Amino acid sequence: PVTIASQEALNQMEWPLQPGETVRDLAQLIYPKNPHMQKYFIAETIKLNQEMQPDLHPSTIFSQTNMILIPSIKQLSHKNTLKRTRY
Give the tens place of pLDDT for each residue, 53-68: 999 999 999 999 999 9
Query: Which string of b and e fits 6-22 if b means at least 16 CB within 10 Å?
Result: eeeeebbeeeebeeebb
Does residue 86 have a pLDDT over 70? no
The amino acid at residue 67 is: M
Q: What is the pLDDT confidence band of residue 7, given thresholds at 50, 70 and 90?
A: low
DSSP assignments along 13-40, one per residue:
EEEEEPTT--HHHHHHHHSTT-HHHHHH
Please tell me what DSSP assigns to residue 63: S
* 16 has pLDDT over 80: yes
Give the H/E segment covering residue 40.
helix 35-48
